[in-house]
Structure 1
Amino acid sequence: MESHSPGGAEGGGFFDIYKPSQGYHTRVWTGVAAGSLIVWFAYFLYEKLELVGTGATTRYVQVGAAVATILSLGLVTYWLLALNRKVCDFLIATEGEMKKVNWTSRKEIIGSTKVVIFVVVFMSILLFVVDVFFMVFFNAIGVLKAGGGTLQELFK
């Protein structure tokens, strides 16, 4: 008969992490992202509960709800990232696959980034020129009635 313990290892407790030496970076960065979202949500809840009332207990309700949110969602996150076998095995496999990827060199990334920045700047300038052309054209044929000297302000 198989025994299922709440912890990661057989006979382990709540603080025994399942396969602690594997998937370290994936678990840590997933925890950091989840923690950031949890703190943001607690702050959001804290601000929204300000609308509940104006009494002296409002601040206690706000802080209590925010702390309870952080603690409860933090425990759920810990359970998922440290104790849940399916999630842990998925994160371990993900980290293993990331190590297999053939990443591009720094030189190639810098070159590609320069190309993207150049194209974005060029397209922005081109779209601005075309927009001004259409504004002048439609103003000249009377379709666009630019008031207040918009074109004159543009070409000062």
Structure 2
Amino acid sequence: MSKDITQSGAADAPLASELFHANVYKPNQGRIVRQLTALAIFVIVGLGCWRLYGFLPTLMENAILARSIAGVLLAAGLWFGFRVVNWPRFADFLIAVEAEMNKVTWPSKDELKRAAVVVIFTIFFLAITLFAFDVIWQFIFSTLRVTS
């Protein structure tokens, strides 16, 4: 009973209170999706700080201060990325996503090739059809002198 209350209470905790903990929420569940989500956040934060680091020296004369600002923001962003994937609400969502992805039946290589050929043929056929309609309507409108 107390375990249910603790888990439901943890799931309702706001993100601001979770930022100052170092624990990992349900560490054995949804690992792949959580790691990929954290990696995506880390890449976004890293690219943003790199861009900021390239831009700050034009605004500031002190290069050490510019590096320090970019470094502090990088560290804060990486910590935020780690904590947000361990925030109970978001972690439960990612765990559910991984569970649903495991239920998906993926096509075989042959089915994938056949489907790709069908899609490419359909797109090619529609492109030719739209081009033909465009040429026909352009001829009709120019014959009627609606367009020049």
Band of TM-score, shorter chain: 0.5 to 0.7
- Cross-structure match for 1:29: 36
Residue 93 (structure 2) pairs with residue 90 (structure 1):
yes
Root-mean-square deviation (CA, aligned residues, Å) is: 3.2
CA distance in 2, matches of 1:69, 1:49: 13
Q: Which is further off, 24-33 or 133-142?
A: 133-142
Q: Does the C-alpha gap of structure 1 residues 79 and 142 become closer, same or farther in structure 2, counting only changes over 3 Å?
A: same
- Cross-structure match for 2:61: 56
Residue 83 (structure 2) pairs with residue 76 (structure 1):
no
- Cross-structure match for 2:14: none
TM-score (norm 2): 0.67
Q: Which structure carries more helix by proportion?
A: 2
CA distance in 2, matches of 1:61, 1:24: 37
User: Given residue 48 of structure 2, which amino acid in structure 1 is its aligned partner?
Assistant: F
Identity of aligned residues (%): 28
Q: Does the C-alpha gap of structure 1 residues 40 and 134 become closer, same or farther in structure 2, counting only changes over 3 Å?
A: farther
Matching of residues 4-153 of structure 1 within 5 Å: 14=22, 16-43=23-50, 45-46=52-53, 53=59, 56-57=61-62, 63-82=67-86, 84-145=87-148
User: Given residue 34 of structure 2, which amino acid in structure 1 is its aligned partner?
Assistant: R
Q: Which runs of 5+ in 2 are unaligned?
A: 11-16
Instruction: Tell me the matched-pair count.
Output: 133
CA distance in 1, matches of 2:67, 2:132: 53
Work out whether residues 38 and 74 of structure 1, in 8 Å CA contact, stay in contact via their aligned partners in 2: yes
For CA contacts below 8 A with separation 6 or more, give which structure has more relative contact order. Answer: 2
Larger radius of gyration: 1
Q: Which is further off, 112-121 or 134-143?
A: 134-143
